[in-house]
Amino acid sequence: MGVRARSASPNYVVGKIVAHVNRKAWWHVPPHDPMAYSKRGKFFASSFSEAEFYGRPLDDPQRVVIARPLVGDEQALAKVLGIPPQHDGMSLEEIAAHDVLWRNAALAKGFDSIVLMTPKAFAGLTSDGKLPRSLELNVLL
């Protein structure tokens, strides 16, 4: 996990996230580049409307199986991976290149996925184990 939990133990929090992710239906927008999966991983959103931000989602949600996610907000993930978070003003090409860096760093550290949430949601998860309603998921392929 990105940051040590205050009240909820890290193993409990990660286990709770894994169970939630593995039983949930996820929405995916196929990339234009067919090689994107092997470069950046496969991105999913919690809801159809959240996925629409990235383009036209598939008509049916998908299921995933993860076992060892890196969990956190952007700052926590950046700290674990040793790579700064994205910043405003990045072009789509810069964002894609950044995604490649995060994917490679996470794989090198033994993670199979990245679960991203807002700072407020991450604070709630680490303090009392409350699962956020909205998550972004990158399954590292």
Structural contact between residues 89 and 133, judged by C-beta atoms closer than 8 angstroms: no
Q: From CA 123, how far away is CA 100, in angstroms rounded? A: 26
Which parts of the chain sit beneath pLDDT 70? 1-8
Sign of CA dihedral 91, 109, 81, 125: positive
pLDDT tens digits, 90-108:
998 899 999 999 999 999 9
CA atoms within 13 Å, Cβ hemisphere of 68? 8
pLDDT, residue 5, reads 38
pLDDT, residue 4, reads 45
pTM for the model stands at 0.90
